[in-house]
Homo-oligomer: A and B are copies of this chain.
């Protein structure tokens, strides 16, 4: 038997889970200050829900884990948290809108394993359902700004609008049946070589000067306002103009310093209808940290929920999803911790009884009651083995409980970093460690 995790699934031992959990706690704190409330949906979904034609689309279904229950029902593991949210809304049509929820959960995609890509990974999503104005889209941008400021990572939030993309293509008279192909090709503009894109466009049947025109326009440089101006000259469709107005409105609600109108940004999922966002390290941060993937992404999907409910009512929705894996990776590179600083345990103090188990148990209880993360030797080992253990786990403090010290109503506290030892009452230990 192979004792291993499944391909693309991994364990997070304490030294990795402790910083992950800190990130998740910070996200949740910010989600809640923004008035998003927690929702939990199951990992298991019905396959027909996830494969509904207005859900994630054909590409993602190829990567969906399928299974059956005892009753031979077709089930699947969720591939995102957005389709389950739409299903939840459909099942709760009387919910008060806007409904602002967050969810942190595991999602599953049975795709090829590339560097850093897992088949089980964690998403942390916020979504606003039932708000049509750009104030809701602005909430998503602001929440990203607040979070990355909190963890001191300098980012650029790229925004675009699907209606603008369609408007540009219509303006350039790209045949409508080629829209998706062209959008998926230009979406890679910031990631791959221009020549690659040119080749892909020609392969997809875009001809002659149109290719050059597409590349020229989607490579437009300038301030956000300048880009809006340039596109106003190309876009003529009502929907395209509406998209541009939405971009302008959204920009007016947010601090534009870290926001870039990126007219080639598209995002792969089929359900987006308006604003799309994607968050990357800023160029400044990229000089220090070698990381190019996106850290968060999302967009507006005004149609999916209504289609799920099937009542033709509008359920405008917009959300953003934070990737725990890439954010953890960036913070790890940024911190560059020494091995001796890595937290391998949450324990702050380790009690070593020297033939004083009962008394040590009492002191341990006092520490814990005071809210201090405390542990004790559970194996009746000798002093040197215990010190070795505490040191290997980078536990900051050790307390020796010996009979001699107890006679003076004291214990010995050792700072494991400096090696300094002090004879203190338990009360003094408590106030020192708190």
Within 8 A of B (CB), among A7-58: 7-14, 17-18, 20-21, 29, 32-46, 48-49, 52
Q: Tell me which of A133-141, A239-247, A294-302 binds B.
A: A133-141
Which of A18, A52, A106: most chain B CB closer than 10 A? A106
Residues of chain A in range 365-421 having any CB-CB distance to chain B below 8 Å = 365, 368, 371-376, 378-380, 389, 392-393
Residue in B48, B87, B139, B378 whose beta carbon sits within 8 Å of that of A133 in the complex: B378
Q: A6-B75, A120-B42, A136-B378 are known contacts. Are A368 and B34 too (CB-CB below 8 A)?
A: yes
Which residue of B is nearest A134, CB measured? B378
Tell me, rounded to whole Å, the shortest Cβ–Cβ distance linking A358 to chain B. 8
| Cβ–Cβ contact B133 & A368, under 8 A | no
Residue of B nearest to A41 (CB): B11
Q: Cα distance A292–B372 when bound, in Å?
A: 34
Check if B46 sits within 8 Å of A2, measured CB to CB: yes
Instruction: Take A91-B4, A96-B393, A133-B379 as given contacts and tell me if A17 and B42 are in contact as well, using a CB distance cutoff of 8 Å.
Output: no
A128 CB–B CB distance under 8 Å: yes
Contacting pair B10 A39 (CB below 8 A): no
Interface flag for A357 (CB, 8 Å): yes
In contact, B37 and A18 (Cβ under 8 angstroms) = yes
Distance between Cα atoms of A393 and B110 in the complex (Å): 39
Q: Among the listed stretches A66-74, A166-174, A424-432, which one makes contact with chain B, having 4 or more residues with CB under 8 Å of it?
A: A66-74
Cβ of A87: which chain B residues have Cβ within 8 Å of it?
Answer: 3, 5
Output the nearest chain B residue to A75 by Cβ-Cβ distance.
B6
Tell me, yes or no, whether A261 is within 8 Å of chain B by CB: no
In this complex, how many residues of chain A approach chain B with their Cβ under 8 Å: the count is 96
Indicate if A219 sits at the interface (CB-CB under 8 A).
no
Beyond A35-B375, A70-B110, is A380–B9 a contact (Cβ under 8 Å)? no
Cβ-closest chain B residue relative to A101: B14
Cross-chain contact B17 with A40 (CB below 8 angstroms):
yes
Residue of B nearest to A118 (CB): B42
Task: Compute how far the CA of A218 lies from the CA of B4 in the bound complex, rounded to whole angstroms.
Answer: 42
Closest partner residue, chain B, to A89 (CB atom): B3
Residue of B6, B136, B142 near A69 (CB, 8 A) is B6
Residue in B closest to A21 when the chains form the complex, CB atoms? B38
| Complex Cα gap A120–B106 (Å) | 14
CB distance from A31 to the nearest CB of B (A): 9
The complex places the Cα of A4 from the Cα of B88 at a distance, in Å, of 8
Question: Is B1 a contact of A14 with CB atoms below 8 Å?
Answer: no
With a cutoff of 8 Å between Cβ atoms, the chain B residues found around residue A132 in the complex are: 379
Bound state CA distance, A419 and B52, in angstroms? 46
Whether B46 pairs with A357 at a CB distance below 8 angstroms is: no
In the complex, what distance in Å separates the CA atom of A48 from the CA atom of B1? 7
Given contacts A3-B309, A17-B39, A35-B347, 17 further A-B contacts (CB under 8 A): A2-B46, A3-B91, A4-B49, A5-B87, A11-B91, A13-B39, A13-B88, A17-B38, A20-B40, A32-B373, A34-B375, A35-B346, A37-B347, A43-B77, A43-B120, A69-B119, A146-B368
Q: Return 27 A-B CB contacts under 8 Å, by A number.
A: A3-B90, A3-B308, A4-B46, A5-B87, A6-B44, A7-B73, A9-B42, A9-B44, A13-B88, A13-B95, A14-B39, A17-B39, A18-B37, A33-B373, A33-B374, A34-B373, A35-B373, A37-B344, A37-B347, A42-B106, A43-B43, A43-B108, A44-B120, A66-B67, A96-B392, A131-B378, A253-B361
Q: Which residues of A contact B (CB under 8 A)?
A: 1-14, 17-18, 20-21, 29, 32-46, 48-49, 52, 65-67, 69-71, 73, 75, 77, 87-88, 90-92, 95-96, 98, 100-101, 106, 108, 110, 119-120, 128, 130-133, 135-136, 138-139, 142, 146, 253, 308-309, 344-347, 350, 357, 361, 365, 368, 371-376, 378-380, 389, 392-393
